[in-house]
């Protein structure tokens, strides 16, 4: 495996091959947010699951999770972590082009994977999954977009990024299908991964839900988070990942708004260092058009928002 990883064209394989570190960090906030709204024993499908940060979190609630990735190192790591967490995941090594969807599903997750396929591949797949998703189900996407001032990083191009998404394409598919658009976020994110220095991505994050109908499932509300103020560009550019939260507060004061998720459950990548952490505390502090991401009190990412960040929560009756 080490020899294969050394010659892999995929930059992420180095992190996946080390079973003792986190390659991509903890579960995504929207996965935490939608979890309370899922029916029991939901069928969850994740393509490009990586080491399992989202798949293994949802599996801990007893959902039926199907997770695939093109990386053998990723699936090997996921299986080992699933055993450690004593959860069941149906996993396999597969390219998106070869994926055969189940007859029905409740959740579809595709984080930073579909942009490695051509539009002629991802679009028919998405449309097919729209038809197979049960009422009240969710689809969650993260894609990196090519933008003149933030082009696709060289490691992404080397791994086969197809530049096959335009801003708003996904939202248009689901609007036509009559789904609820909970998120259609657009931002630049700076972060880093094992073996890869800090870099930036132009990102579109889309979270949509099929109408519930008459079924007794929790409704959700999407609340834009708006905060006055800003961080001067020179100071923002100079902020180093790894800076303690207290030092940031000392520089800029307490944020006027924030978005946070927390759990006491064991999570994959919950401290952005070890593969499995006891609990997870993530906070995005928002200063105007800028956001600072902290995991367990340490700066792990920076954002520049083009659309206001959102908080998804259960709508009270």
Considering the domain architecture, whether residues 216 and 245 belong to the same structural domain is answered as: no
| pLDDT at residue number 317 | 64
Boundary-marking domain end, from 174, 206, 223: 223
Is the pLDDT at 2 greater than 50? The verdict is no
Integer Cα distance of 66 and 54 in angstroms: 11
Residue 289's pLDDT is 93
Among 52, 55, 44, smallest CA distance to 16 is for 52
pLDDT over threshold 80, residue 276: yes
Write the CATH number for 106: 3.40.50.150
Instruction: Assess whether 99 and 198 both reside in one domain.
Output: yes
Question: Is residue 3 over pLDDT 70?
Answer: no
Task: Kindly report, residue by residue over 228-269, the tens digit of the pLDDT.
Answer: 878 999 999 999 999 999 999 999 999 989 999 999 999 999
Instruction: Tell whether 91 and 66 lie within a shared domain.
Output: yes
Angle between helix 169-177 and 119-132 (nearest 10):
30
Q: Contact 33/27 with Cβ under 8 angstroms?
A: no
Residue of 36, 75, 80, 78 lying closest to 53 (CA atoms) = 78
Report the alpha-carbon distance of residue 295 to residue 271 in Å, rounded.
6
Does residue 317 belong to any structural domain of this protein?
no
pLDDT on residue 196: 75
Count of residues making up the chain: 317
Do residue 31 and residue 47 come from a single domain? yes
**End residue of a domain, out of 223, 242, 267:** 223
pLDDT of 7: 58
Asked if residue 126 and residue 18 are part of one domain, the reply reads: yes
DSSP state of 244: B
d(CA 216, CA 227): 35
Contact 71/55 with Cβ under 8 angstroms? no
Mean pLDDT along residues 44-58: 97
Radius of gyration of the chain (CA): 19
Average pLDDT, the chain: 93
State residue 130's pLDDT score.
98
Q: Is the pLDDT of residue 9 over 80?
A: no
pLDDT at 293: 96
Q: Quick: pLDDT tens for 86-125.
A: 999 999 999 999 999 999 999 999 999 999 999 999 999 9
Point out the least confidently predicted range of 4-8, 31-35, 174-178, 235-239. 4-8
> Is residue 5 predicted with pLDDT exceeding 80?
no
Is the backbone of residue 161 left (phi > 0), alpha (psi -120 to 50) or beta? beta
pLDDT score recorded for residue 136: 98
Q: What percent of the chain has pLDDT over 90?
A: 81
Q: Strand pairing partners for 90?
A: 66
Is residue 256 packed enough to be buried (19+ CB in 10 Å), middle (13-18) or exposed (0-12)? middle
Mean per-residue pLDDT for 33-54? 97
Final residue in a domain of this structure, among 201, 223, 245: 223
> Same domain for 218 and 234?
no
Instruction: Give me the number of domains the chain comprises.
Output: 2
**Among 116-125, 134-143, 192-201, 206-215, the least confident range:** 192-201
Q: What is the residue range of 257's domain?
A: 225-311
What pTM does this model have? 0.95
Mean pLDDT (whole number) for 152-179: 94
């Amino acid at each position: 495996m080490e020899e294969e990883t050394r010659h892999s064209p995929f930059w992420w394989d180095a992190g996946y091959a080390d079973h003792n570190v986190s390659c991509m960090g903890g579960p995504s906030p929207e996965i935490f947010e939608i979890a309370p709204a899922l029916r029991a024993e939901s069928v969850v499908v994740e393509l490009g699951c990586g080491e399992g940060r989202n798949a293994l979190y949802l599996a801990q609630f007893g959902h039926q999770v199907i997770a695939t990735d093109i990386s053998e190192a990723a699936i090997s790591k996921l299986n080992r972590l699933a055993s450690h967490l004593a959860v069941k995941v149906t996993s396999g090594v597969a390219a998106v082009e070869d994926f055969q969807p189940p007859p029905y599903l409740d959740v579809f997750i595709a984080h930073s994977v579909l942009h490695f396929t051509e539009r002629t591949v991802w679009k028919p797949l998405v449309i097919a999954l729209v038809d197979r998703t049960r009422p009240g189900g969710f689809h969650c996407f993260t894609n990196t977009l090519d933008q003149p001032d933030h082009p696709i990083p060289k490691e992404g191009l080397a791994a086969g990024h197809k530049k096959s998404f335009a801003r708003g394409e996904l939202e248009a598919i689901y609007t036509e299908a009559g789904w609820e658009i909970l998120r259609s976020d657009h931002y630049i994110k700076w972060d880093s991964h094992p073996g890869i220095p800090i870099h930036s991505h132009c990102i579109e994050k889309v979270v949509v839900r099929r109408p519930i109908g008459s079924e007794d499932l929790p409704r959700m509300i999407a609340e834009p988070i708006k905060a006055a103020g800003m961080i001067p560009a020179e100071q923002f550019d100079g902020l180093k990942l790894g800076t303690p939260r207290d030092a940031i507060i000392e520089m800029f004061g307490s944020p006027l708004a924030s978005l946070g998720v927390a759990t006491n459950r064991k999570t994959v990548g919950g401290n952005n260092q070890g593969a499995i952490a006891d609990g997870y505390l993530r906070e995005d502090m928002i200063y105007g058009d800028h956001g600072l991401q902290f995991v367990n009190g340490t700066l792990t990412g920076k954002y520049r928002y083009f659309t206001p960040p959102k908080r998804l929560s259960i709508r009270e009756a």
